[in-house]
Amino acid sequence: MSRTRIKICGLTREADVDDAIDAGADALGFVLYDKSARAVTLARAAELAARLPPFVTPVLLFVNASPAVLRQAVEALPQALLQFHGDETPAQCEAPGHPWIRAARMAPGVDLLDFGQRFSGAQALLLDTHVETYGGSGKVFDWSLIPPSVPLPVVLSGGLSPANVTDGVLRVRPWAVDVSSGVEQSKGVKNAALMRRFCKAVREADDAIAAL
């Protein structure tokens, strides 16, 4: 088994970007959705992403963004991965011609196999808790809703924290995990110690799996 990748989302400050990198994050997410408490402008996302070393991936989160906004984002940050978190169709996700992942809001009755087939062009499916509004809820969904076999790599999200991510990795065996509020001291302001604890908990889960 390869190690579980770690994405920390909702970065807004230089110090938090640096601390997330030091903690061991593989990807950092920047929210380009102005209704989010963690929203940044594209220019700000580019400033923050400029601090990333090689092999740490910037991820740009969108909710029903226009084609023009997506074009501007790809031009400004060609190295970024796009994350679609709204009602985007497969065609809308494919239109920028850029690598992307698709969020699936998990709730009873969601057919993840059908969803994965429809969005087969995605690099991965990010599984998040279903809420009426867009974006993260800070709440854990029922992991038993995830079928044994998903047609794309899974990014486990939704209410993860240093306290529960080890269990999440052991139970779900995702390709990656995604955290935002679980490592914050306030919305958009990360806590360096919590980020280190989160990454350490993921590595401990990987070690436990490798020992099986």
**What is the rounded CA–CA span in Å between residue 39 and residue 78?**
20
Task: Please report where in the chains the tokens 């940050």 appear, as a residue.
Answer: 77
**What is the rounded CA–CA span in Å between residue 104 and residue 11?**
21
Burial 156-192 (b: 16+ CB within 10 A, else e): bbbbbbbeebbebbeebebbbbbbbbbbbeeebebbb
Is 16 annotated in the active site? no
Catalytic residue (one of 9, 16, 93, 178): 9
Catalytic residue (one of 16, 19, 93, 128): 128
Is 128 annotated in the active site? yes
**What is the rounded CA–CA span in Å between residue 84 and residue 171?**
25
Which positions are catalytic?
A: 9, 128
